[in-house]
């Protein structure tokens, strides 16, 4: 089978996300210094809104067209806790209170993905930015980071996960929030 970027020919691993500005990325990096485990590269910081999975080119086009017709208000997300996710082996920066505009945008994008044959999440959406993986010690209560991150969200993006370079992403398209 022919392959490109480590995926079957013509398929891409896609997701919608908030992508941090340089300033927000620097704030997230300061919080990452308070974690244990294997740190995530700062170039890969993002907040996933909807995961589409491995999709064909026609699905990518449908997602891009659908996203161009979605509207959403700009908002500020305050990431003010470090929590353990998954089986307790991931440390992530999370909001203690998710902005309604963030949850609404994520919900609309997840429905768009589902309507176009993409991945359907089996668990409830929880906004987060992964800081470290392979954290020892299992679950623990959320704790405060050195400083809260104020993330003004003014756009969202469609990204491709680069399976040939784990933790690397390409931004394929972006849309403004009003």
The sign of the CA dihedral 40, 41, 47, 52 is negative
Task: Show the domains of the chain with their CATH numbers.
Answer: 12-176 (3.90.1140.10)
The candidate with the shortest Cα–Cα distance to 76, out of 158, 174, 176, 149, is 149
The fraction of the chain above a pLDDT of 90, given in percent, is 72
- From the CB of residue 40, how many other CB atoms can be counted at a distance below 10 Å? 21
Q: How far is CA 89 from the centre of its chain?
A: 18
E strand or H helix at 27, and its extent?
A: helix 22-32
Instruction: Give first-to-last CA distance, the chain, whole Å.
Output: 44
pLDDT tens by residue, 81-133: 999 998 888 999 999 999 999 999 999 999 999 999 888 888 899 999 999 99
Return the HEC string of 59-128: HHHHHHHHHHCCCCCCEEEEECEEEEECCCCEEEEECCCCCHHHHHHHHHHHHHHHHCCCCCCCCCCCCC
Model confidence band, residue 137 (pLDDT cutoffs 50, 70, 90): confident
Position 138 pLDDT exceeds 70: no
pTM, entire model: 0.90
Position 147 pLDDT exceeds 70: yes
Average per-residue pLDDT in the chain?
Answer: 90
């Amino acid at each position: 089978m022919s392959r490109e970027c480590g995926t079957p020919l013509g398929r891409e691993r896609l997701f919608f996300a908030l992508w941090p500005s340089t300033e927000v990325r620097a704030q997230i990096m300061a919080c990452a210094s308070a974690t244990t485990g294997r740190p995530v590269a700062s170039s890969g910081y993002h907040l996933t809104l909807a995961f589409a999975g491995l999709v064909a080119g026609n699905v990518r086009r449908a997602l891009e067209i659908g996203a161009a017709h979605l509207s959403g208000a700009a908002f500020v997300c305050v990431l003010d806790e470090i929590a353990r996710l998954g089986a307790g082996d991931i440390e992530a920066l999370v909001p203690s209170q998710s902005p309604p505009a963030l949850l609404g945008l994520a919900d609309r994008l997840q429905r768009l993905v589902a309507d176009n044959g993409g991945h359907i999440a089996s668990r409830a959406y929880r906004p987060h930015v992964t800081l470290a993986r392979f954290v020892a010690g299992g679950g623990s209560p959320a704790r405060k980071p050195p400083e809260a991150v104020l993330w003004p969200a003014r756009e969202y993006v469609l990204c491709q996960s680069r399976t040939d370079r784990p933790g690397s992403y390409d931004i394929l398209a972006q849309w403004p929030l009003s």
